Structure formats: structure tokens, C-alpha cells
Amino acid sequence: MKRQIISGAAALGTLAQLDNSISAAIVHARAAGLSWRDALRIARRPIAGGSGAGPFLSEDCAISLLETADIGGTNASTSWVPMAGYDRVFAYVEIGTWNSTDDLDECRLQQGQTVSGTNAKDLTSDASGADYDTDNPVDADGDFVILEARAEDLDVANAFDHVRLYVAEAGNTGVDNVTGFLLRYGAQAKRAQKNGAAVTGSKVYVRPS
């Protein structure tokens, strides 16, 4: 019995480490000055001391891109995607060329009931003193925001099972570029090509031969 308890505790510790590996890897890579693309590549590597036998990130997650956009006086968002089959969601927003008199006024995860965002409402908040504190907004090239949530944070009792990343800037005194992505991970059914079936010259997966 004692051996079983110890083994169970060790397993839980490993799961906790794995659960934090994606966000930790990206944060550390960004702090080291790497791009978010390189950070994603690093995040798929096995954790230190691991066997390396775990799934590739492409087998455990699905990525939705927020393409670089000038959001001065407007907004931008990823597409609505279902959380069904995933345990968590991670979003990353980075400021690019940015007018010094503007701020990123809105930055949040939203939840909706369908792929078109029916009855959309906030999953994380953005306001004075809120999850994203608009009293202290990001406002310079290289600044970033990381947003995270668990599947159980959604209002599933009322059929809210889709998410998206949303950003907006009210001011428009110059170029206000943002880039980002939304990543659903902790797949309950891990398999190859979760981002879509491979298509030559269109959807390409690369690994060492």
C-alpha cells in the first residue's frame, strides 16, 4: 500500500509538471528573446529528466492564429473553436509596431455556444483591476499578454463550449500591430495531425528522419 501511495504521488507530480510545461516553456523562451514560433517549437520538447516518450505537441494540441493586424480604432480575433476534447486553453498576444500614445485597451478570452460565437460573453475580463488590468495595459513593441483557462471555467451548464481570443484598441493615432495565437491542449484523445490532415504543399508536418 505504501508503495502504491508513493507511486501515485509521483504520478501526480509528473502530471502537474507536464500540465505547466507548455506555458512555462513559452514564457522562458520569450524572456530569453526568442520569437513565439521558436517558443512553440521548444515547448514540444520533453521536460527535463523525462524519457522523451511522450506525445509531440502536434498530437496534443490545436493552434488558431491571430494574424498580425493593425487594430488601431478597431479589433481582431481568432476564429471560434470548440473546447470539446481539450482540458485547457492558452493564448498569447504580442505587441509589434505600436504608436506610443496608444494602449491595448481590450484583451480577453471569450466563450460562445457555437462556432459562430452565439451569445458570446467573456471568459476572462479586461477592465480596471480585472484579469487584464486596463489601468496597466501593454503599450510598447515586444510587450505581451498570456491568457489561460481550464475547460471547466467555461459555462458548460449553459452550453458555452467554444472559445476565441479577442483584442481591441480604441485609439488610432498610428500603427498598432498585434500578433497572437490560441492553443487548445491536454487532448483527451491524442493522435497525429490534430491541426488537420497533412496535405502536400498545404498542411505540412515535419520531424527528423
* pLDDT (0 to 100) of residue 13: 44
Among 44, 109, 113, smallest CA distance to 84 is for 113
Among 106, 142, 139, 137, smallest CA distance to 124 is for 106
Quick check: 47 pLDDT over 70? no
Q: If you classify domain 58-193+203-209 with CATH, what class do you get?
A: mainly beta
Quick check: 104 pLDDT over 70? yes
Domain map (residue ranges) of the chain? 1-54, 58-193+203-209
The DSSP annotation for 39-65 comes to: HHHHHTSPPTT--S-S--GGGT-EEEE
> Could you read off the pLDDT of 17-43 as tens digits, one per residue?
445 556 666 666 676 677 766 666 655
Higher pLDDT, 8 or 60: 60
Quick check: 14 pLDDT over 60? no
Q: Which three cell numbers stand for residue 116?
A: 459562430
Confidence of residue 12 (pLDDT cuts 50, 70, 90): very low
Quick check: 66 pLDDT over 60? yes
* pLDDT (0 to 100) of residue 193: 92
* pLDDT (0 to 100) of residue 33: 72
| pTM assigned to the model | 0.76
